[in-house]
C-alpha cells in the first residue's frame, strides 16, 4: 500500500499536482514511514513537494523528519 501511495505521489508530481502529491506522501508515511523516509522515490518526491512555497500541509513536518530541512 505504501509503495502505491509513493507511486501516486510521483504521478501527481508529473502532472503538477502538488497537493495530491503531498496527500499521497503523508498517507504513505503514516502507513510505512521507512518507505518514504529511506527509499529514494519517497525522498525524491518529498524534496520536490517540500520545495513548494509554502509547503503543503504535512509535508513540512515530513521534510524535517526525513532530514531535508533544518
DSSP string computed for 1-67: -HHHHHHHHHHHHHTT-HHHHHHHHHHHHHH-HHHHHTSHHHHHHHHHHHTSSSPPTTHHHHHHHHT
Cell numbers that stand for 46 in this block:
518529498
Cell numbers 518529498 correspond to what residue? Answer: 46
pLDDT-above-70 percentage for the chain = 97
Residue 52: pLDDT band (50, 70, 90) is confident
**6-32: average pLDDT:** 87
The reported pTM is: 0.79
**With bands split at pLDDT 50, 70 and 90, how would you rate the model's confidence at 69?**
low
Question: Which pLDDT value is given to residue 15?
Answer: 92
Dist CA 49 CA 21 (whole Å): 7
Amino acid at each position: 500500500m505504501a509503495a502505491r501511495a509513493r507511486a501516486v505521489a510521483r504521478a501527481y508530481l508529473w502532472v503538477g499536482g502538488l497537493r495530491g502529491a503531498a496527500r499521497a506522501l503523508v498517507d504513505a508515511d503514516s502507513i510505512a514511514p521507512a518507505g518514504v523516509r529511506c527509499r529514494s522515490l519517497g525522498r525524491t518526491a518529498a524534496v520536490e513537494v517540500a520545495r513548494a512555497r509554502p509547503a503543503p500541509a504535512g509535508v513540512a513536518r515530513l521534510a524535517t523528519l526525513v532530514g531535508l530541512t533544518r
